[in-house]
Amino acid sequence: MNAIPELNLADYLSPDPAVSSRFVQALGQAYEEVGFVAITGHGISEQLIGDLYKYVQQFFSLPAPLKCLYEIPGLAGQRGYTSFGKEHAKGFAAPDLKEFFQFGQVVEDADPVAAEYPANVVVSEVPAFTPTLLQAYRAFEQTGRILLKAIATYLGLEPGYFEPRVHNGNSILRAIHYPPIISEPSSSIRAEQHEDINLITLLVGASAGGLLILNRQGQWVDALCSPSQIVVNVGDMLQRLTNNRLRSTTHRVVNPPRNLWHTSRFSIPFFLHPRSEVSLACLEGCVDGAHPKAYEDFTAGEYLDERLREIGLKK
């Protein structure tokens, strides 16, 4: 049995209020008990997913000196390439066994928030890479906003509560390459146990297994899903907002069996962030006598800055 509940986003969009309500309740319950769901009916086309992975693999196949031309100092890895061994999980000194490329928000209206965002890095050697990243970014963003409407409804908020908070938000599309393992790892796995920073994370079509989540019994279980599903999990920002009602579940990516050490793993999560000025103060409806306020107030920008320092991307 899959450790992750499976839901169809088409149910939430159903004209039948009862069907939509059942989805909302099932999603909220899953996020209270597990923190992860596997979603079908998400509206992101197989063609786009296939193209995305094709161009991501082409980029990571470039020679290391060429990739390093796209590593931009001073951006804390938030745009462009980050070379192997630069990031570590919070609380762990050993770096994760990965390299990655990040693509961020493109503001297409007159929103002054555009001044906060660095330009995206264009890779000339793979001409289709940047436009495909933008197309995927928009598709993930749209699906994430629909899911946030369902989450808001579950929390007793207006369905559109998150809309102004994530409009032109600081979301990130991260393409990750876990290279073949060529020697016995000393103290690292591909990605050490961690929780995500953001509101929700959407992950589609990882090229190999290895993602494990830590259940309430303290057991590591496989996060299995089919190629047609996306895995969507709660991040720390949403956990803070809901005063621990919705769970930011610990997860990791383990090394493959030794006979598969020669293989790469590719993964492309979309980290849905709010705008930097948005308050992460616990929602009033999630604080009561039985659940006292667990967190001090932060803005999303302040919290992101703190976490980037904790994982070694910002000094």
Name the residue ranges covered by the structural domains of the chain.
Answer: 6-310
Across the chain, what does the average pLDDT equal? 88
Assign 178 to helix, strand or coil.
strand
pLDDT at 1 over 70: no
Residues with Cβ within 8 Å of residue 267, at least 6 apart in sequence: 176, 178, 203, 206, 207, 211, 253
Mean pLDDT (whole number) for 106-113:
96
Mean pLDDT (whole number) for 81-86:
85
Q: Cα 219 vs. chain centroid, distance in angstroms?
A: 22
Spatial separation of the C-alpha atoms in residues 246 and 29, rounded to whole Å = 9
Q: What is the identity of the amino acid at 27?
A: L
What band does 93 get if pLDDT is binned at 50, 70 and 90?
low
Q: Give the pLDDT of residue 183.
A: 66
Spatial separation of the C-alpha atoms in residues 201 and 36, rounded to whole Å = 9
Q: How far is CA 106 from CA 69, 126, 171, in A?
A: 22, 20, 10
> Quick one: which of 202, 294, 210 has its CA closest to 252?
210
- Strand-pair category, 269-272 with 172-178: antiparallel
15-29, 85-99, 219-233: which has the minimum mean pLDDT? 85-99
Place of tokens 């967190």: 295
Q: Give the pLDDT of residue 88.
A: 65
More confident residue, 269 or 227: 269
Mean pLDDT (whole number) for 70-86:
88
Spatial separation of the C-alpha atoms in residues 99 and 96, rounded to whole Å = 9
Q: Is the dihedral of CA 269, 44, 211, 263 positive or negative?
A: negative
The pLDDT > 70 percentage for the chain reads 87
Summarize pLDDT for 150-192 with one digit per residue, the tens. 999 999 999 999 999 999 999 999 999 988 777 666 655 656 6
Rg (CA), the chain: 19
Q: Give the pLDDT of residue 87.
A: 64
pLDDT at 131 over 60: yes
Mean pLDDT (whole number) for 128-138:
97
247 DSSP assignment:
-
281 DSSP assignment:
P
Spatial separation of the C-alpha atoms in residues 107 and 110, rounded to whole Å = 8
Spatial separation of the C-alpha atoms in residues 34 and 111, rounded to whole Å = 36
Q: Give the pLDDT of residue 30.
A: 93
Q: Give the pLDDT of residue 308.
A: 82
Spatial separation of the C-alpha atoms in residues 168 and 274, rounded to whole Å = 8
Q: Give the pLDDT of residue 309.
A: 81
pLDDT at 113 over 80: yes
Spatial separation of the C-alpha atoms in residues 300 and 275, rounded to whole Å = 7
pLDDT at 208 over 70: no
Backbone phi and psi for residue 279, each to the nearest 5 degrees, phi listed first: -75, 140
Q: Give the pLDDT of residue 207.
A: 42
Backbone phi and psi for residue 297, each to the nearest 5 degrees, phi listed first: -75, 135
Summarize pLDDT for 223-264 with one digit per residue, the tens. 777 778 899 999 999 999 999 999 998 878 776 666 767 677
Mean pLDDT (whole number) for 111-138:
96
Spatial separation of the C-alpha atoms in residues 156 and 141, rounded to whole Å = 23
- Strand-pair category, 265-267 with 172-178: antiparallel
CATH of 6-310, one of 1.10.3720.10, 3.40.50.1950, 3.40.50.1820, 2.60.120.330: 2.60.120.330
Q: Give the pLDDT of residue 204.
A: 82
